[in-house]
Amino acid sequence: MAYRLKITGRAQRTLRQMPEHLASEAVDEILALADDPRPPHALAMSDQLTGRYRIRIDGWRILYLIRDADQVVTVLDVRRRTRNTYLNVP
């Protein structure tokens, strides 16, 4: 059963600003989440971010939330990996 995808405005802006080859890879990963929201390379986040997942693409992270009851995957943000990447995740 396919999940619906929602992408926040913040994530969309970041995708437009990324280098083209990385943005293309990120979009492919995001689209694949509709069929498999928990691919083997996705990592579940812990502590206060429980229920959220991340996927690594080079030095970037796709941060997303899965709502199984509604069959919705919401891409919260796409961020460059720094020591503050996981602070203030919606």
pTM, 2 dp: 0.86
pLDDT tens digit string along 24-82?
999 999 999 999 999 999 988 877 667 789 999 988 999 999 999 999 999 999 988 87
Domain 4-80: state its class: alpha beta
**β pairing state of 72-80 and 4-7:** parallel
CB atoms within 10 A of CB 63: 22
Q: Domain locations in the chain?
A: 4-80
Copy the structure tokens of residue 39: 């691919």
Tens-place pLDDT, residues 4-13:
999 999 999 9
How many H-runs (helices) and E-runs (strands) does the chain carry? 2, 5
